[in-house]
Amino acid sequence: MPHDLPELDQLHELIDRLGDDAWVEQLAEIEHEDLRVPILAVMIGARDPSAPTFALVGGVHGLERIGTQVVLAYLTTLASLLQWDGMLRAGLTRCRIALLPMVNPVGVALRRRSNGNGVDLMRNAPCVGGVATPLVGGHRWSPRLPWFRGPKGGPMEAETLALCEFVRRWVSCASASILVDVHSGFGLVDRLWFPWARTRRPIPQLAEVLALANLVDATLPNHVYRIEPQAGSYTALGDVWDHLYDEQRRSRQDQPFLPLTLELGSWMWIKKNPRQLVRPLGWFDPMQPHRLQRTLRRHLALFDVLQRASAAPAAWSGLDAPSRAAMTRAAFARWYGR
C-alpha cells in the first residue's frame, strides 16, 4: 500500500459515492520499491465513443499534488450534482466527462516531479523537430536531473502510455473534445496554455482556440486566466499534448480536440507566504488552508464552462471559411504580434 496517498483514498470514496453514475477503468498498476498503485480513470455520461467529451487530468508531476486535488474537487461537485441536478443528468445522456486525477501516483506518493524511474512524464512522448528551452525543456542526460525525457529510443513509460490510452479511448475519439491538464509551479497568474510546447509556431486550429477563448471571456467576464500559447513561456520536447494533438490532426481532423494545460500561478502563494520557499512542496502547492480552499473552488466555474463548450462545439468550431480566416488573423494579432 502507498505511504501517503490521501488523494487515492479520496478518489476511492468518490467512486463509491458515484455508484452506477460512473464507470472506472484501471489503466495500469505501477510498482516502485514497496509501492504498488493503480492509475484510475473515472467516466461519467455517454459511453458512445463519439459523444462530445470534457476531460480533466491531474498529477502528471507528483510534486504538484494540487493538480490532483483540483480534479478531485470537480469530481466531488459532480458527485453531488448527480444526486439532484436533472439538467446535468439529462445532458450527460449525450455527452461525457472523463477524469484521470492521478497520472503519476508514485510521484505523488514520493513527492517528486518524475515517476519512479526518474522520468518527467510531460517530456516523455516521441517528438520530431522542435527546440527546447535548455534543461527545463527536457533532456536525455540523466534521470538524476529533473526534466529527464527517458532513455533515447526507449519505449514510453507505463504512466505515459496509460495517459495516451485514456485520451484515445475516451477523449480524442469524441466528435469534439476539450481537455484540461492541471499543473502548478510557474508564474504569478493562472495560465491556460494551448499547444504546441515544442515550437513557437502556431497550431493549425488557432481560429478554434480564439473562438473558445472568446467564449470563455464572454461567459466568465471576470475570470483570472491568461489564455496563451504554451511556447510563449518556454518550449519543451516530448510534450504528451503535442504528441496527442498531432496524432489527432493526422487521423481525425474533423473532430476538434483541444488539449489545454492549466498552469496554476504558484509563485503568488510563495509571495504571500515566503516560508513556502523552504518547504519541499512549497514551490508547487498552496500550504495555507485558506489558500488551498480558494484554489480548490476557484476553477470550478471554468470547468463548468468548458464542459458545456465541449458539448456545444458549434459555438467554437466548424467555422465557415471567411470567419475562420478572420478569426485566425485576430488570433495572430492577439498572441503572435502580427
User: Which residues contact Zn ion by CB under 5 A?
Assistant: 61, 64, 183
Decide: residue 52, CB within 10 A, 0-12 exposed, 13-18 middle, 19+ buried: buried
Work out how close the CB of 101 gets to Zn ion at its nearest, in angstroms, rounded to a whole number. 14
User: Is the Cβ of residue 96 or residue 299 nearer to Zn ion in the bound state?
Assistant: 299
Omega cis (within 30) before 196: yes
CA distances from 104 to 56, 58, 61, 83, 321 (A): 14, 9, 7, 30, 42
120 — phi, psi (to 5°)? -80, 110
158/306 Cα distance (integer angstroms): 29
Smallest gap from residue 186 Cβ to Zn ion (A):
8
Closest CB to Zn ion among residues 176, 264: 264
Nearer to Zn ion, 139 or 183 (CB): 183
Three-state DSSP at 166 gives helix
Q: Nearer to Zn ion by C-beta: 183 or 198? A: 183
CA distance 55 to 14: 17
State how beta strands 257-264 and 191-194 pair: antiparallel
Please state the closest distance from residue 64 (CB atom) to Zn ion, in A.
5
Q: Which is nearer to Zn ion, 58 or 313 (CB)?
A: 58
Question: For residues 61 and 243, which CB has a smaller minimum distance to Zn ion in the complex?
Answer: 61
Q: Least CB distance from residue 183 to Zn ion, whole Å?
A: 3
Q: How far is the CB of 53 from Zn ion (least distance, A)?
A: 23
* Residue 291 near residue 221 (C-beta atoms within 8 A): no
Report d(CA 54, CA 71) in Å as an integer.
12
Q: How many whole angstroms separate alpha carbon 310 and alpha carbon 313? A: 6
Q: Please enumerate in sequence order all residues whose Cβ is within 8 A of that of 141, keeping only pairs 6 or more positions apart, or say none.
A: 148
Taking the complex as a whole, the smallest distance from the CB of residue 283 to Zn ion amounts, in Å, to 11
Element (H, E) at 54: strand 53-58
* CB closer to Zn ion, 183 vs 243: 183
Name the closest residue to Zn ion (Cβ): 183
**Shortest approach of Zn ion to residue 115 CB, angstroms?**
13
